[in-house]
Structure 1
Amino acid sequence: MRVDKYLWCVRYFKTRSKATRACKKGHVEVNGEKVKPSREVYPADEINMRKNQIDYKIQVLDLPKSRVGAKLTNIYRLDKTPQSAFKAQEKLKYAQEYYRKKGTGRPTKKDRRDIDDFLEKPDNKDLDE
C-alpha cells in the first residue's frame, strides 16, 4: 500500500491529497528515508511524520483494505510518539494565547508602546549622565 494512502486510511490526514502533499514536502520518512507518496509500506515499517509541529512515530502493524473508523486504527498501527511532544504543543498554544486572545483585533497604541518599551535597548544618553 502507498504511504500516502496508508496515512489517510489510519486517519492521520483528513484527505489523501493532504497526505500526498506532506510526502512531497518531505515531512514523511519511512525507515529513516524521506519518501515520495508512491512509496510502498509493509508491516513492521517505521514511519516518522511531522504534522502540526509534532513529530509522530508510527509502526505499521497491518495494512487496511480501505479507510477505517477512528476506533479501529490501533489494529493497523502502533503509535510510538512520546507524550512530551504533545505537552510541548499545549505549552506553545498557551504561550500564543497569553498576550492577546484570538479575534480581539489589532494591537492598540498602548500595546505598541509596551512592546517598544520591552524591546528598547539602553541609550548611550542614559550612560553619559
Structure 2
Amino acid sequence: MERQRIDKWLWAARFYKTRTLACEEIGKGRIEVNGQAAKPAREVKPGDTVSMRRESVIRTVLVRGLSPTRGPAPVAQQLYEETPESVAARLEAAEQRRLAREPALSIEQGRPTKRSRRELDGVKRDWDDRWSASLDD
C-alpha cells in the first residue's frame, strides 16, 4: 500500500473517531494536504504534510505510514510525526487556555430558584409603587 484516501488515513491515525467526521472536517476546509485544500478522496502517501485546524490551533503532521485499519493508539501514533512548530503552537495555545479564564465561569449563579425569583418579584412590586426614582420622606 503506497497511497491512501485522506479521510481513511485521518480515521486510522485516530485524529477523528469516524470517517464521516473526517469527511465533514475536510468538507469544511479544515484539512490541507501539502498546502492545498483537500477533498475526502484525496490520496496521501508517506512524506506528505497534513495540516488540521481544530479549535483555532493549526496542527501540522508529516505522514510516516499508512494503515488500512484503525488500530490501537500506540500503532496510530507511528503513522505520523508532528512538526516542532506545531507542537510549540499547540503547547502555547494550551498555556493560553490555562491562563485565560473561561468567561462563562465568571457567572456565579444561573437561573434564579423559585424562592429567589419570588424575592425579586417582591422587590420589583415595591419599585412599581413608587412614582419616581428619588427618595421621598
| Both structures adopt the same fold (TM-score exceeding 0.5) | yes
Structure 2 spans left out of the alignment, 5+ residues: 112-137
Residue of structure 2 equivalent to 1:34:
37
Contact 1:7 1:13 in 2 (8 A): yes
Q: Is the counterpart of residue 20 in structure 1 residue 54 in structure 2?
A: no
Paired residue for 1:123? none
Which has the greater radius of gyration? Answer: 2
Structure 2 counterparts to residues 44-83 of structure 1, below 5 A:
44-80=47-83, 81-83=86-88
Q: Would you say 1:86 and 2:91 are equivalent positions?
A: yes
Q: Post-superposition shift, 1:101?
A: 5.5
The verdict on how the C-alpha distance between 1:90 and 1:62 changes in structure 2, with shifts beyond 3 A counting, is: same
**2:57·2:89 contact (CA, 8 Å) conserved in 1?**
no
Deviating above 6 A after TM superposition, structure 1's stretches of 4 or more consecutive aligned residues are: none
Question: Match for 2:110: what amino acid?
Answer: G
Identity %: 33
Q: CA deviation at 1:52?
A: 2.3
Superposed CA RMSD:
2.4
Which amino acid in structure 1 is aligned with residue 105 of structure 2?
R
**Count of equivalent residues:** 107
Aligned counterparts of 1:62 and 1:56: Cα–Cα separation in 2: 18
Tell me the CA shift for residue 98 of structure 1: 6.1
Q: Indicate the residue corresponding to 1:105 in structure 2.
A: 110
Q: 1:7 Cα deviation (Å)?
A: 0.5
CA change 1:91–1:32 in 2 (3 A) is: same
Q: Which deviates the most, 71-80 or 3-12?
A: 71-80
How high is the TM-score relative to the length of structure 1? 0.71
SS in 1 for 2:43: coil
Task: Give the TM-score normalised by structure 2.
Answer: 0.68
SS in structure 2 at match of 1:100:
helix
Whether the aligned pair in 2 keeps the contact of 1:54 and 1:86 (CA below 8 Å) is: no
Task: Say if 2:11 and 2:19, in contact at 8 Å, map to a contact too.
Answer: yes
